[in-house]
Structure 1
């Protein structure tokens, strides 16, 4: 069998947020839980998160200095 058959998933629970992010234009406006989530992602993948989508529109993102 392959190594994947022996893999054990790691499950992490992180706090969420209910705030509407669609009007956010600056990273300091992100909820603390969203910032914590982004920091977790950066730690896991080893690269900075520099663009954050805050809605479905093409212009709905904020630049983040990670």
Structure 2
């Protein structure tokens, strides 16, 4: 019931560029528990050329093929984890790679449907 697709970091990179994002809230980390590998879209192939941002035009987008990077998954549970250091190492690497590809830091991580199961890396409403 809490299914999701592979993370499209290249799309989010375009969204961050257009909208001026300062931080990410990653939800549903727990639905990835038990997967042996994860795919992360880091770019696209468009007419034989590799690009790292989703194009602006609908016609170009329709011709794009996603380029996926394979990352190791984890067997440990993340459900209810409220401290970043207690996440499985592979989960931390996955989150760090998302931040690296998008250029936007991960500020909040949700580890279950429960509101209390949240990791606050940086409060989104407090200025640095």
Q: Which TM bucket (shorter chain)?
A: 0.7 to 0.9
Q: Normalising by the residue count of structure 2, what TM-score does the alignment of the two structures yield?
A: 0.45
Task: Tell me which stretches of 4 or more aligned residues in structure 1 moved more than 2 Å.
Answer: 4-8
Superposition RMSD in Å: 1.9
Query: What secondary structure sits across from 2:114 in the alignment?
Result: coil
Query: What secondary structure sits across from 1:11 in the alignment?
Result: strand
Equivalent position to 1:48, from 105, 109, 117:
105
* Structure with more of its chain in strand, by fraction: 2
1:6–1:23 Cα change, 3 Å: closer
Count the aligned residue pairs: 65
Corresponding residue number in structure 2 for 1:10 = 67
Corresponding residue number in structure 2 for 1:60 = 117
- The C-alpha deviation readout for 1:2-37, integer Å capped at 9, x for no partner, is 222442321111111121112322111011101100
Residues 1:24 and 2:91 aligned together = no
Corresponding residue number in structure 1 for 2:91 = 34
1:3–1:23 Cα change, 3 Å: closer
Give the gaps of 5 or more residues in structure 2.
1-58, 123-128
Give the gaps of 5 or more residues in structure 1.
none
